[in-house]
Amino acid sequence: MSSNLVTVSIDAIKIGQPLPFAIKGSDGTLLAQKGFVIESKAELQDMVGRGFTLYIDLADSEAYHRAYVGKLHSVVREEKSLGHIAGTQISRDDLDANRIDLVEGPPDWLDLQTQANNILRDISSPQFLRRLDRLQSQLRQHTQRNPDGALFALFHLSASELHLYSATHAMLVSTMCGLATRDVLNWPPAQEQTLCRAALTMNISMTDLQDRLALQLEPPNPEQRVQIDQHAARSVQLLEQVGITDNGWLEAIRDHHTVPAGALAGKTEGQRMARMIQRADMFAARLAPRASRVPTSPAAAMQASYFDENRQVDEAGAALIKAVGIYSPGSFVRLNTNEVAVVIRRGANTTTPRVAVVINREGIPTVEPTIRDTSQREYRIVASVPHRDVKVQLNLQRMLALTATPSSDRVG
């Protein structure tokens, strides 16, 4: 394979839009020229064949240009020799750290999930911090543009699959913490950013173990238990080794399982962040399935997060519930009409979200989802429904479109 080629996901290619770059095979063969319009996923798969990998040429990509200019500026600032500057090359890490999204439009949550997994498994990369910051920036952007869509995607991915659990869980906890501190607690942006970084890296020393435990039927063995017990301290150690010196970030990770209950105002900055992470971690983990156990109901997960160890209202937990809702986007509920619906948008208060009916009152999956406003008495929520009990395969992209759609009685 030519060293000038980099992979591009099929999911990154926008159907029905002119290609912003030429697509090539692994041997450099041109498969589709820049500007070509691929009309359907089926056409794309037929063109390249199932199981094949698609590539773009570095020299043709805007990401390459940005990475090259950025590195060139860097060597100029370092006053390198003209010969060194002329010989400047761009590595794959440089490209990954500086790349922009190849397509416009809604976020590709599966790609973000993969990005997070790669970052958390490659802390030794010299681009680690830049890649982490880019991921955190993308999560913040998407959450600001469509918070319901971000929550829906991450809760759905967390509840519907066991693979890449650690990365998905980290993104969900980071997103929940960001929403709560920005929209409810009004923390300064710099503190919010540090908190979200800490949430993404809280389990970085046990990413692989977390993924294996999600698929493991038996309880953790003694060796795994030691790793679990030591993961917070070990994560801090790994971050310090790659140059992280932010005391708040490191303290938040070190204490995220041990910070005591009590008012946030009485804690250090790092402990306040640790408490936010602890409550969000608890909430998200209880909702996620494992091979060895079923998830708890949203109501039970909410209660565990909302009340502290002394059965008092927890300030951090209450902020999270207010930001996310008792019935979070992506969760299933039963309505007074006996319909089963998935929550698509938070409502005026934490108990009255907008939902899309996926199973009608006769127990039959709907062809077209019907939007219900649960603040209306007729459509009030009467119970949470476990994800495992809903035998309907949701189209994530279609449902995400509903999270951003103005309310209507019917969606096609």
Question: Do residues 326 and 348 touch, judged by C-beta distance below 8 A?
Answer: no
- The residue among 11, 95, 9, 113 whose CA lies nearest residue 53 is 9
Cβ neighbours for 196, distance < 8 A, ≥ 6 positions apart: 136, 139, 140, 174, 175, 177, 178
DSSP 33: -
In angstroms, what CA-CA distances link 195 with 97, 206, 275?
21, 19, 10
Return mean pLDDT, the chain. 82
In angstroms, what CA-CA distances link 214 with 85, 157, 208, 263, 384?
48, 14, 10, 33, 23
Collapsed DSSP state (helix, strand, coil) of residue 20: coil
- The residue among 325, 365, 327, 359 whose CA lies nearest residue 343 is 327
Confidence of residue 183 (pLDDT cuts 50, 70, 90): very high
Collapsed DSSP state (helix, strand, coil) of residue 246: coil
Listing DSSP states for 136-189 in one string gives HHHHHHHHHH-HHHHHHHHHHHHHH--TTHHHHHHHHHHHHHHHIIIIIS---H
pLDDT for 53 equals 63
pLDDT for 16 equals 73
pLDDT for 292 equals 67
pLDDT for 170 equals 96
Flag whether pLDDT at 80 surpasses 60. Answer: no
Summarised one tens digit per residue, pLDDT across range 231-287 is: 999 999 999 999 999 999 999 999 999 999 999 998 999 999 999 999 999 988 887
Least confident of 155-169, 177-191, 264-278: 155-169
Question: Do residues 149 and 342 touch, judged by C-beta distance below 8 A?
Answer: no
Q: Tokens 């607690």 — which residue?
A: 185
What is the value of pTM for the model shown?
0.73
Lookup: tokens for 211 = 């993924």
pLDDT for 407 equals 43
Across 26-30, 84-88, 167-171, which has the greatest mean pLDDT?
167-171
Question: Do residues 345 and 353 touch, judged by C-beta distance below 8 A?
Answer: yes
Residues β-bridged to residue 293 = 290
Least confident of 77-81, 100-104, 133-137: 100-104
Least confident of 20-34, 148-162, 364-378: 20-34
* Domain boundaries defined on the chain: 5-98, 109-304, 332-403
List, as own/partner pairs, every contact residues 47-50 make where C-beta atoms lie below 8 angstroms and the sequence separation is at least 24, other chains included.
Answer: 48/23
Summarised one tens digit per residue, pLDDT across range 316-361 is: 999 999 999 888 999 999 999 999 999 999 988 888 999 999 999 9
Flag whether pLDDT at 137 surpasses 80. Answer: yes
Lookup: tokens for 220 = 């953790």
pLDDT for 273 equals 97
Dmax over Cα atoms in the chain, in whole Å? 76
Cβ neighbours for 239, distance < 8 A, ≥ 6 positions apart: 123, 201, 204, 249, 250, 253
In angstroms, what CA-CA distances link 226 with 100, 223, 234?
40, 5, 11
pLDDT for 266 equals 87
Length of the chain: 412
Question: Architecture of 109-304 per CATH?
Answer: Orthogonal Bundle (1.10)
